[in-house]
Amino acid sequence: MRTLLNLIWLVLCGFWMALGYLVAGVICCIFVVTIPFGLASFRIAHYALWPFGRTVVDRRDAGTASFLGNVIWFIFAGWWLAIGHIVTGIGLCITIIGIPLGVANFKLIPVSLMPLGKEIVEIA
């Protein structure tokens, strides 16, 4: 079932979301100071490409630098991304078949708000 949902997700919205996160990651990696944001964006892109069967967990070794980076990310990019995920998720939930896709979009909100200090793991 996860594979089927991931394939539908990939065709309807996953490819475009992942492409957007990849572009943001490349732009962030151009500047040396924002490389951690670029790497986080690449992680989110991978998660946005194939979200079913995976979840986001906090890293135990994340410290003050991750917190400060998340504050900067939230101010400049996080809340815009979260609004985009909310709008897209509501739009997907309008149809019956889109409800699981909308829920997956809502799952992306916390990691899009504060991506540093997070890890994406497979669900057993």
Percentage of the chain lying above the pLDDT 70 cut: 100
Using an 8 Å Cβ cutoff, are 46 and 18 in contact? yes
Please list the alpha-helical segments (H only) found in the chain: 2-9, 15-30, 35-49, 64-73, 79-93, 99-113
Average pLDDT over the chain reads: 89
- Residue 28 belongs to what domain range? 2-122
Q: According to the model, what pLDDT value does residue 20 have?
A: 87
Q: CA-to-CA distance for 23 and 8, rounded, in angstroms?
A: 23
**How many structural domains comprise the chain?**
1
What average pLDDT does this structure show over 64-79?
89
Is the pLDDT confidence value at 106 over 90? yes
Q: According to the model, what pLDDT value does residue 22 have?
A: 92
Is the pLDDT confidence value at 124 over 80? no
Q: CA-to-CA distance for 101 and 87, rounded, in angstroms?
A: 13
Is the pLDDT confidence value at 3 over 90? no
Please give the model's pTM, rounded to 2 decimal places: 0.83
Q: According to the model, what pLDDT value does residue 109 have?
A: 92
